[in-house]
Structures are given as C-alpha cells and as structure tokens.
Amino acid sequence: MNESAMAPDNAEDWPDHVPVRILDSRNETSPSIAKISAAMAKAQGAMGGALKDSANPFFKSKYADLESVWGACRKQLAENEIAVFQLPSASGNKVAITTLLGHASGEWIRNTLTVESKDASPQGVGSAITYTRRYGLSAMVGVYQTDDDAEAAQGRSQRGPSQDETRALAARFKAAFDADIDGPMLEIHEEANKNQELYEVAWHLLASNVRARLKLGIDRAKAAREGKTYTPPQPRGAARQ
C-alpha cells in the first residue's frame, strides 16, 4: 500500500465565507495502479467541465455544485469500469470523507480528506460533508469548473490558472495588505471575481491573518462606498445584549 499525507497550517481566524477548515489529506493506492491509470486516462479524455450553476454570495460568482461535478464524470467513469465510493464519518464538528476509485481489475486509489466544520449542528456537519465530497471528487477525477454550458456538455479542454497567475494575484493582495488601505483591497477583490477559480487558489496561498485583514478591508470599503457605517460581525458564541 502506498500512502502520503498532508497536514495544513492551523489558522486562528475563520472567515465567514469559508465553510470548512482542512485538517488533513491522506492518499493511498493499491500496489499497482497501471490499469486504473489507463482507464482513468480514457475517462478523462471524454469528460467535460462541471457547469458553474450555484451562487457563491461572498465572491458574488458561481461555482459547480456536487450534482454538477457528478454529472461531468459519472458516465465516463462507468464506461471505463471505474466505480466511485464516498464514505463519510464525523465526530463532533470534525468530518472525514474517503473517496475511493475502484477499477474492475481490483486496482484502486483512495483519498481521505478531513475537515472541521464551523459547528457540530446537523446543518453544519451536513454542509461540510457536501463541500468535502465535491472537492474530493473533483480533485480525484480531474473535473474542472466552466461557465460554458456547451463546453460542459461537449468536453472541450479548458486551461486552469497557472502558478504564475495565482502567485501574481496573491502578491497583489499581499501588497494591498502591506499598504493597509481598504480601497485597493476591494478593487482587487472585484477584479479577481472575474475568474473565481484563480481567485480561490490565490486566496488560499495567503496567510490566515492576511486573509482576515483583507476580508475586513473589503467589507469596510463596500460599506463606505454605499454610504453605510461598517458594523463588524459578532464573534460566534458572543452573548447578545
């Protein structure tokens, strides 16, 4: 059995628009993956993108939900004898999703993604399970997101953001953070929203304290532009007066 693990940095803050915090990602494979790799190559060659059909209120843009991701890969995986299992487990507000790709040959590839939801309520844990299933499945099978309905149906290729693009955007955000001025933070935020995939990757390259300050600056700049007084959100668990 081959195995690798990744543990993320711990973050003290938790922005309102982030539904989960990643705790661990662990990959395992059967001793050989030659046959499942060949089958996956054929399946991926026939896959289209997952249509962005759900709204992200923070980024004011759209994303591909779990149904859309499944729709982009289910038929192609089945035609190449690859089954998908997604097994959830939870303890309190910690949620783990094991995504297993199993091939008719007996070969398999497995990832277990462990996250922390904001709270242990049924709604919080349920949202974390759906969120983690969506990301786990799309990462395992290589499904990308697209705005183009025709492209999602036909399976034409689309280039994702490059490392240079994501690092450049992260550097712009970091420069706005260093300048400590709200206006430029909002300008970059609104410009970057034109490409949500690029935005999200670049955003998570930033340190947690930088993201928290940017979020504050963006919200304050929005309020100022609308002639409103910014009121910071009440911390979770704080007593109401």
pLDDT of residue 57: 45
| Least confident range of 35-49, 143-157, 163-177 | 143-157
pLDDT of residue 62: 52
Looking at the structure, tell me whether residues 83 and 194 fall in a common domain: no
Q: Lowest mean pLDDT of 30-39, 176-185, 231-240, name the range.
A: 231-240
- Structural tokens at position 40: 């996956």
The better pLDDT of the pair 94, 131 is held by 94
Domain span at residue 214 reads 163-225
| Residue 92 sits in the same domain as residue 170 | no
Question: Could you give the CA distance from residue 135 to residue 72 in angstroms, rounded to a whole number?
Answer: 14
Per-residue model confidence (pLDDT) at position 236: 53
> Which pLDDT score, from 0 to 100, does residue 27 have?
93
Of the pLDDT bands very low, low, confident and very high (cuts 50, 70, 90), residue 80 is very high
Q: Are residues 28 and 143 in the same domain?
A: yes
The answer on 119 and 41 residing in a single domain is: yes
Residues 78 and 194 in one domain: no
- Per-residue pLDDT band for 10 (boundaries 50, 70, 90) equals very low
| Overall pTM > 0.85 | no
Give 137: exposed, middle or buried? Use CB within 10 Å, 0-12, 13-18, 19+: buried
Contact in structure between 205 and 166 (CB atoms under 8 Å): yes
Q: What is the average pLDDT across 103-108? A: 96
Question: Has residue 120 been placed in a domain?
Answer: yes
Angle between helices 196-203 and 163-179 (to 10 degrees): 60
Confidence of residue 231 (pLDDT cuts 50, 70, 90): confident
- The reported pLDDT for the residue numbered 160 is 59
Confidence of residue 1 (pLDDT cuts 50, 70, 90): low
On whether residue 116 sits in a domain, the answer given is: yes
As for how many domains the chain has, the answer is 2
Cα within 13 Å of Cα(121), Cβ side? 6
